[in-house]
Amino acid sequence: MYDYKPLATQLRPKTLQSFVGQSHLLAPGKLLKRALDGRYIHSFIISGPPGTGKTSFAQIVANAWQLPLESWSALSTGVKDIRGIIDKMQGLSQKTMLVFIDEIHRYNKAQQDALLPYI
H-run or E-run covering 33: helix 31-37
CB 56 within 8 A of CB 21: no
Q: What's the whole-model pTM score?
A: 0.79
> Is the pLDDT confidence value at 95 over 80?
no
| pLDDT tens digits for range 27-76 | 899 988 898 889 887 788 888 888 888 999 999 999 988 888 888 888 88
Reduced to 3 states (helix: H, G, I; strand: E, B; else coil), residue 116 is helix
Question: Does 83 reside within a domain?
Answer: yes
Q: How far is Cα 82 from Cα 77, in angstroms, rounded to an integer?
A: 7
CATH number at residue 78: 3.40.50.300
Quickly list H helices, 44-108.
54-64, 79-91
- Kindly state whether residue 20 falls inside one of the protein's structural domains: no
Asked, for residue 50, whether it belongs to a domain, the answer is: yes
In a domain, 66, yes or no: yes
Of 24-28, 63-67, 90-94, give the lowest mean pLDDT range. 90-94
Amino acid, single-letter form, for residue 33: K
Q: Which domain holds residue 78?
A: 46-118
- 73 in a structural domain: yes
Average confidence (pLDDT) over 71-89: 85
Query: Does 107 fall in a domain?
Result: yes
Total domains, the chain: 1
The answer to whether residue 6 is domain-embedded is: no
